[in-house]
Amino acid sequence: MGPANTGRVISQEAFDEVVKENMEDLGMEPVEALEDAIQTLTLQGVDLSGIVKCVPGECSVKDNPVIQSLERLKQLNSKDRINSEDLNEMGELFDKLIELCGCNNEVSGNVPIATRNGAVELVCAICSKIPAGSKRLLLSCLKMMALFIHDIQSSETFRVNGGPKMVVDILRNGSEDSEILNSCFAIVTASATGNEVVKESFMELKIDELVLEVLSRQRNDRIQNLYYAMRVLLTADDDRVVASQVYGYARRFAKIGIAKALTVSLAEGLASPNVVATSSVMKAIAVNDEICTSIAECGGVDALLRCIDESGEQGNKAVARTSCSLLSKLAGSDSNKSSIIEKGGMERLVKLSARFSDDPSVLQEVMSIITVLSLRSPDNAARAIEAGAGDLAIQVMQKFPKAQQLQRNSCFMIRNLVVRNPENRTLLLNNGIEKLIRQAKENHESCKDAATDALRDLGLDDYNK
């Protein structure tokens, strides 16, 4: 979903009047008058999305197929009684609008035209009237709704027209149908993205309980949008609010058992098509030490280490990155650190780095976990060196001098490996780590502080140079 448009707004009538004035007052030809109006208004910062741009004399707003379809749907929806023929026609109009407004799953320029002309309000009203048993019609209606919610304005329109309650009611009534579930969660994703108030509306309607029900009742191979919806509900992405409530939502998700249900799914490893999405959602839920510990107690560490092993064996970079990222979050708990180390986590991470020695995005995640595991733990730092973390740092800093985040993470890791382990300092310095850190400090602004701290904790007097 795009951000709210902050440009000036103009009505269709006002736009048409500008074109008309260009023709009548300035003597422009129709095509020239239209192009001039578009250019002039755009330069003035006017938002022209949703405006039908017609050449006078050749077409009119009423000829636009999107508006024609919406007008016919409004007529059908206004009937006191909608019969089977009306429902069939609605389905045809839905399909036509989906074709007009969606192009290869990307939002077209027709979507703002539709929303400006009451599409969201209309679809909310129609969805509430679709009788039980009309699955095809309902699916088309839901798909169209997800397409029309494309910015803050449309998500707000969805909210004030009872959209969240409508979707939750459909979820409750169609919780056994994977296609309906997937379509509903697509709407949750679209409407809650960037809109804190919509998130709150869904949470007040206890959508978290419905999520748990779906996770518990069936395999979710075909309900990819369930994971997207959870991720959005737990993401603070609305710049209009000072303090988001998503931290509290994450605790609710954990408290009712969603984290545990996701851990069960994660235990399937790469056999699950949703392993990446599952890891991403679990990271959003793991907001405090208690939740991180509870995930580990449910088998989360074992599941992640399995995913890390399998991702290396199968060369799956996406799974490797997300699994490492979640494990790093869980490793923030001291009790989990011990568990990861006891299960050979340090050695398995270094082994993973060897599998993906040409991928900085995976390597920097490995560095991040080792940094967390070694924090305030001399024993873990010694274990990391024994597993080859020191050699890893030297190799990657030499191989990827331009990878800023990887260089930065390497500096952080080196610092934690040596700050309480003097013996590690000598080893790394003898292998040329100082030169590599100084190069990172010189070449990357983002590395300066991390590199300075690493040089200081290596015992170098001129660390600030």
Going by C-alpha positions, the residue among 122, 144, 282 that lies closest to residue 215 is 282
Is 90 exceeded by the pLDDT of residue 277?
A: yes
Least confident of 19-23, 141-145, 398-402: 19-23
- pLDDT at position 119, please? 95
Lowest mean pLDDT among 199-213, 220-234, 277-291, 354-368: 220-234
Look at residue 29 in the predicted model and tell me its pLDDT.
86
Q: Does residue 49 come out as left (phi exceeding 0), alpha (psi in the -120 to 50 range) or beta?
A: beta
23, pLDDT greater than 60: yes
CB neighbourhood size of 11 (10 A):
10
Residue 193 has pLDDT above 80, yes or no: yes
Question: For 442-460, what is each residue's pLDDT tens digit?
Answer: 999 999 999 999 999 999 9
Q: What is the pTM of this model?
A: 0.88
Bridge partners, 106 (sequence order):
103
Residues 6+ apart with CB under 8 A from 334: none
Here the tokens at position 254 are 């954990």
> Which pLDDT band, with edges at 50, 70 and 90, does 220 fall under?
low
Q: Give the CA diameter of the chain.
A: 86
Residue matched to tokens 């399909």: 95
Q: Which of 5-19, 77-91, 173-187, 308-322 has the lowest mean pLDDT?
A: 5-19
Quote the pLDDT of residue 50: 79
The string over 428-450, giving b where at least 16 C-beta atoms fall within 10 Å of a residue's C-beta and e elsewhere, is: beeeebbebbbbbbeebeebeeb
SS3 (DSSP) at 103: strand
What tokens were used for 144? 């169209």
**pLDDT for 45 beyond 90:** no
Question: Parallel, antiparallel, or unpaired: how do β-strands 46-47 and 106-107 relate?
Answer: unpaired
